[in-house]
């Protein structure tokens, strides 16, 4: 399973993605459409997320453990998106399949050296969270990433390995229903980081 996690993390670099930007808060005066020179204060408020109640299948201790695990793996998923943005344009502009393969092998070696020791310490559940969050950040499942980079045979092989550990590389991240608790934790982490930046 550890080799699978390392392979998945290193494979993301060849897949295209679009990373959305959150709107910035702003306050301004709006006078268009008003009569008699009235002034209207206009302010863009921060997004407020509303979630359903915690599911019956999870208690406080399970939730607390989930928070710890997601705090551990989420930075890796964000790194995946950043590395992808860094390398993807260069990979896409390669002139031949041979050049792409050579470039991909170079990137894999760099990322392997950077992340191997940390990924080896991941548990099976942490690996699943990482795969889901990479999907969240790149909008691509682990299966589609492997298929894009290594081909259908390799993707099917690693899907079989994942199934042995009760994981599914084709599982899509669903922030609204299936994985809403994960999404809630991730947004909580993002809000904490934003608050820390604002204090500086």
At 12-71, the pLDDT tens digits run 533 433 233 344 444 454 545 555 666 666 777 776 666 555 555 678 888 889 999 999
Q: Of all residues in the chain, what percent carry a pLDDT higher than 70?
A: 70
Using only C-alpha atoms, the chain has a radius of gyration, in whole angstroms, of: 21
- Please answer whether residues 149 and 14 qualify as being in contact, where contact means their C-beta atoms are separated by less than 8 angstroms: yes
Residue whose structure tokens are 């290193």? 10
Helical residues (DSSP H) of 12-59, grouped into ranges: none
Which one, of 133, 144, 123, 119, lies nearest residue 7 by Cα? 119
Q: Which residues pair with 30 in a beta bridge?
A: 40
Domain ranges for the chain? 2-20+50-199
Indicate the pTM of the whole model: 0.69
Which residues of the chain are modeled with pLDDT < 70?
A: 1-41, 47-57, 88-92, 200
Alpha carbon distance 114, 126 (integer Å) = 18
Q: Provide the pLDDT for residue 73.
A: 93
- Please answer whether residues 142 and 169 qualify as being in contact, where contact means their C-beta atoms are separated by less than 8 angstroms: yes
CA of 76: how far to CAs of 23, 92, 107, 176, in Å? 24, 23, 16, 22
Q: Provide the pLDDT for residue 17.
A: 30
CB atoms near residue 124 (< 10 Å)? 14
């Amino acid at each position: 399973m550890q080799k699978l996690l390392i392979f998945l993390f290193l494979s993301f670099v060849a897949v295209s993605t679009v990373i959305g930007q959150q709107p910035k808060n702003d306050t301004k005066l709006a006078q268009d459409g008003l009569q008699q020179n009235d002034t209207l204060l206009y302010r863009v408020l921060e997004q407020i997320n509303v979630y359903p109640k915690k599911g019956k299948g999870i208690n406080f201790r399970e939730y607390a453990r989930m928070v710890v695990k997601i705090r551990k793996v989420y930075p890796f998923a964000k790194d995946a998106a950043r590395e992808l943005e860094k390398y993807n344009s260069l990979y896409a502009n390669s002139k031949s399949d041979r050049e792409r393969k050579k470039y991909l092998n170079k990137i894999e070696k760099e990322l392997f050296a950077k992340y191997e020791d940390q990924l080896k310490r991941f548990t099976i559940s942490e690996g699943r969270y990482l795969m889901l969050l990479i999907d969240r950040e790149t909008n691509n499942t682990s299966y589609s990433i492997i298929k894009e980079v290594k081909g259908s045979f390799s993707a099917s092989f690693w899907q079989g390995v994942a199934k042995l550990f009760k994981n599914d590389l084709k599982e899509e991240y669903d922030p609204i229903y299936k994985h809403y608790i994960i999404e809630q934790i991730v947004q909580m982490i993002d809000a904490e980081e934003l608050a820390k930046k604002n204090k500086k």
